Amino acid sequence: MACLPLFKRRNTTPVWCGNVVIGGDAPVSVQTMTKCDTRDIESVVREIRLAVSLGAELVRVAVPDREAAMAIEDIKEQVPCPIIADIHFDYKLALLALEAGADKVRINPGNIGGKGRLLEVARKAEEKGAAIRLGINSGSLEKDLLEAYGGPTHEAMVESARRHLAYLEDAGVDKIVISLKSSSVRHTVEAYMLMAEFTRWPFHIGITEAGPGTRGMVKSAAGIGTLLALGLGDTVRVSLTGPSHEEVEVAKQVLQSMGVRAFGPDVISCPTCGRTQVDIVATATQVADALKGMTVPIKVAVMGCPVNGPGEAREADIGVACGRDGGILFSRGKVLGRVTSEELVPALVRLAREYAETAEGKN
């Protein structure tokens, strides 16, 4: 079987969502979704501002009722990013959210109420210049598709997407984003791969109901990373059972790890072993914390012994090989000098900042 070309991004139609472009040549954008009650405007605004300060470029809010839909107008006046309304069951809430200024509405075709209601939302979105995301979810597919495919398979998900996409395209809708999410990494990846054969609309990617903590992060990284490697993905949301700012941090790390975007320093460290004589976990954490906020994408290595650095970490821009009484500083495999244990972190951070300033100046 022929191998698919990796990291060649799929050619998609650009779609504006507020002041952010999804698809085309635009960078793969970072999304999150607020966790607090949308009707609590003060809390929502505070949460969105924190997420944006950490790198969120679009934010989705739940719209469970009329009051939440109307709150979007006040929320938008106080935040710097596009706001997406998340709609389930009641299409009238989508109409209200669009009237309130939502830049995009996420519609779940499995529970919105049929073609007529979908098209009514589409007409309102077109009137307001907003985008629509067809958000297919394996847990809420139409009954006829579940029966036809014997369950929520990736083929059933794609059939649902194609059915509703045809409704929108026939009506002349020209700002569409598609997502096909499952809690199964395999089903999600297969669904996007299949759907890519039928459309050039941009993809919103993620793994739904990924779970809490490490479990959710690993599952999301596996699914999103695979899709990015296949060139499938124009905007990303990491779904975690946790705060929205964690979703943003993980999304950025996945994008940077896959080489899709660069947000700042990449702090690498060895896994430690019996040769390690210092607390590498604490040292690497201190270095990473000290470099937060830096936007130049340099590689900084914190290694536990001379075996891993500067030899194995020779590609690092700046690094340290730690020992019992201090460490050896190096840059691109070249030894720069020795430092004491007390000087180790401050010296490495200082050199990293100097290297970043020089690199930024050259650009």
How far is the C-alpha of 156 from the C-alpha of 147, rounded, in Å?
A: 9
For residue 1, the model assigns a pLDDT of 38
How far is the C-alpha of 80 from the C-alpha of 103, rounded, in Å?
A: 12
Cβ–Cβ < 8 Å for 303, 312: yes
Q: What are phi and psi of 100, to 5 degrees?
A: -80, -5
- Mean predicted confidence (pLDDT) in 113-128: 96
Is the per-residue pLDDT at 3 higher than 60?
no
**277 lies in which domain range?**
266-358
- Mean predicted confidence (pLDDT) in 238-253: 96
- Mean predicted confidence (pLDDT) in 39-63: 98
Q: Does residue 222 fall inside a structural domain?
A: yes
For residue 277, the model assigns a pLDDT of 87
For residue 311, the model assigns a pLDDT of 73
Q: Does residue 1 fall inside a structural domain?
A: no
How far is the C-alpha of 125 from the C-alpha of 123, rounded, in Å?
A: 5
**Beta strands at 15-17 and 104-107: parallel, antiparallel or unpaired:** unpaired
pLDDT by residue (tens digit) across 72-110? 999 999 999 999 999 999 999 999 999 999 999 999 998
239/313 same-domain check: no
Q: Does residue 4 fall inside a structural domain?
A: no
Pairwise pLDDT comparison (250 vs 313), residue with the higher score: 250
Number of separate domains in the chain: 2
69/105 same-domain check: yes
Confidence of residue 363 (pLDDT cuts 50, 70, 90): low
Q: Does residue 363 fall inside a structural domain?
A: no
For residue 10, the model assigns a pLDDT of 95
Instruction: Name 287's Cβ contacts closer than 8 Å, sequence gap at least 6.
Output: 267, 300, 302, 345, 348, 349, 352
251/306 same-domain check: no
For residue 219, the model assigns a pLDDT of 95
- Mean predicted confidence (pLDDT) in 211-221: 92
CATH number of the domain within which 72 lies: 3.20.20.20
For residue 218, the model assigns a pLDDT of 96
Q: Does residue 5 fall inside a structural domain?
A: no
Residue 112 per-residue DSSP state: S
61/108 same-domain check: yes
